[in-house]
A and B are shown apart, each in its own frame.
Chain A
Amino acid sequence: MIPASFDYVRPASLAEAVQVLTQGGEEAKVLSGGQSLLPLLRLRLAYPSLLVDVGRLGELHGIRDEGGHLHIGATTTHDEVVRSPLVNAECPLLALATATVADPAVRHRGTLGGSLAHADPAGDLPAVAVALDMEFVIYSTSGERVVAARDFFLDYLETALGPGEILTGIRVPKLGPGWGYHYEKFHRTAQAWATVGVAAAVRVSGANGGTRRIEEARVALTNMGPTPIRATAVESAIQGTDLPDPHGPPGTDPVREAAARADENTSPPSDLHAAPDYRRHLAQVLTHRALLTAATTP
Chain B
Amino acid sequence: MTGEPAPGGHEVGAARRRKEDARLVTGRTQWTDNIQLPGMLHVAFLRSPMAHARVTRVDVSAALRRPGIVAAFSGADLAAEQGSLPCAWPVNDGMVIPEHPPMAVDMVRYVGEAVACVVSTDRYKAIDALEAIEVDYDPLPAVLDMTEALKEDGPKVHEAGNQAYVWKFAEGDIDAAFREAPVVIERTYVQQRLIPTAMEPRSVVAQTDGESFTLHSATQIPHILRIMLAQVTGIPEHKLRVIAPDVGGGFGSKLQVTAEEVLLLLLTRRLGKPVKWTESRSEGNLTVHHGRDQLQRLSLAADAEGHVKGLRVDLLADMGAYLMLVTPGIPILGAFMYNGIYKMDAYDFTCTGVFTTKMPTDAYRGAGRPEATFAIERLMDELAHELSLDPIEVRRRNWIAHEEFPYTTIANLTYDSGNYEAATDRALSLFGYDKLRAEQSDRRDRGDPVQLGIGVSTFTEMCGLAPSRVLGSLSYGAGGWEHASVRMLPTGKVEVVTGSSPHGQGHETAWSQIVADALGVPFDDISVVHGDTAVSHKGMDTYGSRSLVVGGIAVLQACDKVQEKARHIAAHLLEASPDDIEFTGGSFTVRGTGAGKTIQEIALATFAAHDLPDGVEASLDSDATYDPDNFSFPHGTHLCAIEVDTETGATRIRSYVAVDDVGKVVNPLIVEGQVHGGLAQGIAQALFEEAVYDPEGNLLTTTMADYLVPSAADLPDFVTDRTETAATSNRLGVKGVGEAGTIASTPAVVNAVVDALRPYGVHDVRMPCTPERVWRAIQETTS
Complex formed: what's the CA distance from A286 to B127 in Å?
Answer: 44
B708 within 8 A of A: yes
A55 to chain B, nearest CB (A): 23
A236 within 8 A of B: no
Contact surface of B with A, Cβ cutoff 8 Å:
123-124, 127-128, 280-283, 647-648, 650, 688, 692, 700-701, 703, 705-706, 708-711, 713-714, 770-772, 775-776
The answer to whether A188 touches B124, judged by C-beta atoms less than 8 angstroms apart, is: no
Given contacts A2-B280, A278-B775, whether A186 and B648 have CB atoms under 8 Å apart is: yes
Cβ proximity bits A181-194 to B, threshold 8 Å, 1 near / 0 not: 00000101111110
The answer to whether B123 touches A2, judged by C-beta atoms less than 8 angstroms apart, is: yes
The answer to whether A192 touches B650, judged by C-beta atoms less than 8 angstroms apart, is: no
The answer to whether B692 touches A272, judged by C-beta atoms less than 8 angstroms apart, is: yes
The answer to whether B124 touches A2, judged by C-beta atoms less than 8 angstroms apart, is: yes
Question: Lowest 7 CB-CB distances: which A-B pairs, in order?
Answer: A1-B280, A190-B713, A189-B714, A2-B127, A285-B647, A278-B772, A189-B708
A282 within 8 A of B: yes
The answer to whether B688 touches A191, judged by C-beta atoms less than 8 angstroms apart, is: no
The closest CB in chain B to the CB of A190 belongs to B713
A116 to chain B, nearest CB (A): 20
The answer to whether A189 touches B688, judged by C-beta atoms less than 8 angstroms apart, is: yes
Complex formed: what's the CA distance from A4 to B130 in Å?
Answer: 11
A247 within 8 A of B: no
Complex formed: what's the CA distance from A1 to B708 in Å?
Answer: 18
Q: Chain B contacts of A1 at CB under 8 A? A: 280-283
The answer to whether B770 touches A190, judged by C-beta atoms less than 8 angstroms apart, is: no
The answer to whether B705 touches A193, judged by C-beta atoms less than 8 angstroms apart, is: yes
A43 to chain B, nearest CB (A): 7
Provide 21 A-B residue pairs closer than 8 Å at the C-beta atoms, listed in order of the A residue: A1-B280, A1-B281, A1-B282, A2-B123, A2-B127, A2-B280, A5-B124, A43-B703, A188-B688, A189-B688, A189-B708, A189-B714, A190-B711, A190-B713, A191-B711, A192-B708, A193-B705, A195-B771, A273-B770, A273-B772, A281-B775
Q: How many inter-chain contacts with C-beta < 8 Å in the A-B complex?
A: 52
A275 within 8 A of B: yes
Given contacts A2-B123, A274-B772, A285-B647, whether A191 and B280 have CB atoms under 8 Å apart is: no
Complex formed: what's the CA distance from A189 to B714 in Å?
Answer: 6
The answer to whether A189 touches B711, judged by C-beta atoms less than 8 angstroms apart, is: yes
Can you add 7 more A-B contacts, CB < 8 Å, to A43-B282, A278-B776?
A1-B280, A186-B771, A188-B708, A191-B711, A192-B708, A272-B692, A278-B772
Complex formed: what's the CA distance from A281 to B688 in Å?
Answer: 21
Cross-interface CB contact of A188 among B283, B701, B771, cutoff 8 Å: B771
A297 to chain B, nearest CB (A): 21
The answer to whether B281 touches A191, judged by C-beta atoms less than 8 angstroms apart, is: no
Complex formed: what's the CA distance from A265 to B619 in Å?
Answer: 84
Complex formed: what's the CA distance from A173 to B647 in Å?
Answer: 34
Q: Chain B contacts of A2 at CB under 8 A? A: 123-124, 127, 280
B647 to chain A, nearest CB (A): 5
A250 to chain B, nearest CB (A): 11
Cross-interface CB contact of B648 among A189, A190, A273, A285, cutoff 8 Å: A285
B128, B705, B710, B713: residue with the most chain A Cβ atoms closer than 10 Å: B705
Q: Chain A contacts of B776 at CB under 8 A? A: 278
B132 to chain A, nearest CB (A): 13
Q: For window 182-211 of chain A, which residues contact chain B by CB distance below 8 Å?
A: 186, 188-193, 195
The closest CB in chain A to the CB of B131 belongs to A4
The closest CB in chain A to the CB of B201 belongs to A1
The answer to whether B710 touches A189, judged by C-beta atoms less than 8 angstroms apart, is: yes
B495 to chain A, nearest CB (A): 40
Q: Chain A contacts of B709 at CB under 8 A? A: 189
Complex formed: what's the CA distance from A4 to B770 in Å?
Answer: 36
The closest CB in chain B to the CB of A191 belongs to B711
Cross-interface CB contact of A4 among B123, B128, B711, B771, cutoff 8 Å: B128
Cross-interface CB contact of A186 among B650, B700, B706, cutoff 8 Å: B650
Complex formed: what's the CA distance from A43 to B775 in Å?
Answer: 33
B688 to chain A, nearest CB (A): 7
Complex formed: what's the CA distance from A191 to B700 in Å?
Answer: 19
Complex formed: what's the CA distance from A190 to B652 in Å?
Answer: 12
Q: Chain A contacts of B711 at CB under 8 A? A: 189-191
Q: Chain B contacts of A188 at CB under 8 A? A: 688, 708, 770-771
Complex formed: what's the CA distance from A74 to B714 in Å?
Answer: 31
Q: Chain A contacts of B705 at CB under 8 A? A: 192-193
Complex formed: what's the CA distance from A177 to B776 in Å?
Answer: 42
A47 to chain B, nearest CB (A): 11
Complex formed: what's the CA distance from A272 to B770 in Å?
Answer: 10
Complex formed: what's the CA distance from A286 to B772 in Å?
Answer: 14
Complex formed: what's the CA distance from A189 to B128 in Å?
Answer: 34
Complex formed: what's the CA distance from A1 to B124 in Å?
Answer: 10
Complex formed: what's the CA distance from A186 to B645 in Å?
Answer: 12
Q: Chain A contacts of B281 at CB under 8 A? A: 1
Complex formed: what's the CA distance from A149 to B714 in Å?
Answer: 34
The answer to whether A272 touches B701, judged by C-beta atoms less than 8 angstroms apart, is: yes
Complex formed: what's the CA distance from A281 to B713 in Å?
Answer: 26
Complex formed: what's the CA distance from A189 to B338 in Å?
Answer: 32
Complex formed: what's the CA distance from A272 to B694 in Å?
Answer: 10
B124 to chain A, nearest CB (A): 6
Q: Chain B contacts of A272 at CB under 8 A? A: 692, 700-701, 706
Cβ proximity bits A17-57 to B, threshold 8 Å, 1 near / 0 not: 00000000000000000000000000100000000000000
The closest CB in chain B to the CB of A284 belongs to B647
Complex formed: what's the CA distance from A281 to B649 in Å?
Answer: 11
Q: Chain B contacts of A281 at CB under 8 A? A: 775
A162 to chain B, nearest CB (A): 29
A10 to chain B, nearest CB (A): 21
Complex formed: what's the CA distance from A5 to B122 in Å?
Answer: 13
Q: Chain A contacts of B710 at CB under 8 A? A: 189
Q: Chain B contacts of A5 at CB under 8 A? A: 124, 128
Complex formed: what's the CA distance from A190 to B127 in Å?
Answer: 33
Complex formed: what's the CA distance from A273 to B706 in Å?
Answer: 8
Q: Chain A contacts of B650 at CB under 8 A? A: 186
Q: Chain A contacts of B647 at CB under 8 A? A: 285
B200 to chain A, nearest CB (A): 15
Complex formed: what's the CA distance from A20 to B647 in Å?
Answer: 52
Cβ proximity bits A249-281 to B, threshold 8 Å, 1 near / 0 not: 000000000000000000000001111001001
Complex formed: what's the CA distance from A195 to B705 in Å?
Answer: 12
